Amino acid sequence: MDESRLRQIPVFAGLSKKQRKLVAQSADEIDVEPGTYVCREGESAYEFFAIVEGTAKVVRGNQFLNELGPGDFFGEMGLLAKAPRNASVIVKSRLTAVVMTGPAFRHIDREMPELAKNIRRAVEERTHWLEPVG
């Protein structure tokens, strides 16, 4: 995909052009219809997603956790922890997203500390939602 597309997405915006070109080489852009489960709770994690346009909701069991929109990313937790998806991500309004395979994502996460820092911050925030309340 084209490097310039990645500039719109905050998690990639801080990278150098050269780094974005590397990311772009191992990324694809997909369009997904409303109602589609992009991640399914309990299933294996193979891909990382960053939203260009559209919205998706994050649901665990019967619990609504969050709504994600342009600039947000998801699927990082299963890849980094080598664990099953901890929630389902369901498309709400037609989604355009950048998608990367697990190995490509892990490679970039290792090589690009700026990006890794942003991803870790989100994982930390999202992990709070995993802890039981009270």
Toward ligand CMP, which CB reaches closer, 15 or 89? 89
Q: How far is CA 19 from CA 13, 45, 111, 118, 119, in A?
A: 10, 24, 9, 15, 16
Cα 97 from chain centroid (whole Å): 9
Helices of type H across the chain: 3-6, 10-13, 17-25, 76-81, 102-111, 113-128
- Residues contacting ligand CMP: total by CB under 6 A: 16
Positions in 70-99 near ligand CMP (CB under 6 A): 74-78, 85-87, 89
By CB under 6 A, name the one of 23, 56, 58, 112 that touches ligand CMP. Answer: 58
By CB under 6 A, name the one of 23, 27, 39, 52 that touches ligand CMP. Answer: 39
Toward ligand CMP, which CB reaches closer, 6 or 45? 45
Toward ligand CMP, which CB reaches closer, 54 or 78? 78
Residues 50 and 12 sit within 8 Å (Cβ to Cβ): yes
Cα 55 from chain centroid (whole Å): 12
User: Using CB under 6 A as the criterion, which residues of the chain lie in contact with ligand CMP when the complex forms?
Assistant: 39, 45, 58, 65-66, 74-78, 85-87, 89, 126, 129
